[in-house]
Amino acid sequence: MSPDVHTKGLDLPTSCFHHTKGGRRLLTASAAGLVEEFTKLLDSTPELVTYASFWKRNTCLHHAAATRNLSVLEAAAAVIQRLPKAAGTGIFNRCTASSPDGIVNQINWQGESPLMVACKSGCPRCVGFLLEMGADLLQRGGQENWNPMHFAAAHGRLPVLHLLLGNAAIIQTVSGPRAAVHVLLRNRAWVYR
């Protein structure tokens, strides 16, 4: 990976119990946006799409969401749809993902799903695509036990908030003292940037 590629705090794994070389290459390709290499790796070993780094448990979906790379998400989605139902429980993934939806909603060590990471990075196209893939809009995670709307609000991602507010399921999370709207107002310093 070139030094100018930023993964926004997501780790690239240094060790893993199984298939470290292929898994590391896949995560590096997803973080760097190397779609051709990413696709080539998944064509040879489709189950690698479930690979998570050993320490921080980030998947290729987390990396693609953090770097706002829709092409990598689309390539991963094509492979995820072809996987057998129990693909996520094999040796490539030490997580509990046991279906395509489980892979899409896999949380990392911070308790964040790829959708939450995409909301933080502020890419409405990635957020929309993850929702189409079956990402759970009401899943909570992170240190504050937030849903994806909270992550978008905390980072001042108005286009993402607009997209999420267009989904009726998220509306039920708008009330209360820890509501995403309150997070947005509390963190309004981004308005002046």
In a domain, 1, yes or no: no
In a domain, 4, yes or no: no
Q: Output the pLDDT for position 83.
A: 79
Q: Output the pLDDT for position 76.
A: 93
pLDDT in tens, 74-100: 999 999 888 776 544 443 444 444 456
Q: Residue 77's Cα: distance from chain center in Å?
A: 12
At residue 158 the predicted structure's pLDDT band, cuts being 50, 70 and 90, is confident
pLDDT in tens, 44-83: 888 888 888 877 888 999 999 999 999 999 999 999 888 7
In a domain, 87, yes or no: yes
- Whole-angstrom Cα distance, residue 84 to residue 74? 18
**Domain with 119 in it:** 20-192
In a domain, 11, yes or no: no
Mean pLDDT within 146-169: 83
- Whole-angstrom Cα distance, residue 192 to residue 48? 43
Q: Output the pLDDT for position 20.
A: 67
pLDDT at residue 171 is higher than 70: no
pLDDT in tens, 95-104: 444 456 678 8
pLDDT in tens, 97-134: 445 667 889 999 899 999 999 999 999 999 999 999 88
In a domain, 7, yes or no: no
Say which CATH number the domain at 58 has.
1.25.40.20
In a domain, 164, yes or no: yes
Mean pLDDT within 177-188: 55
Q: Output the pLDDT for position 99.
A: 55
In a domain, 167, yes or no: yes
Mean pLDDT within 158-170: 77
Mean pLDDT within 2-18: 41
In a domain, 135, yes or no: yes
How many structural domains are present in the chain? Answer: 1
What letters, b where the CB count within 10 A reaches 16 and e where it falls short, cover 101-128? ebbbbbbbebbbbbbbbbbbbbbbebbb
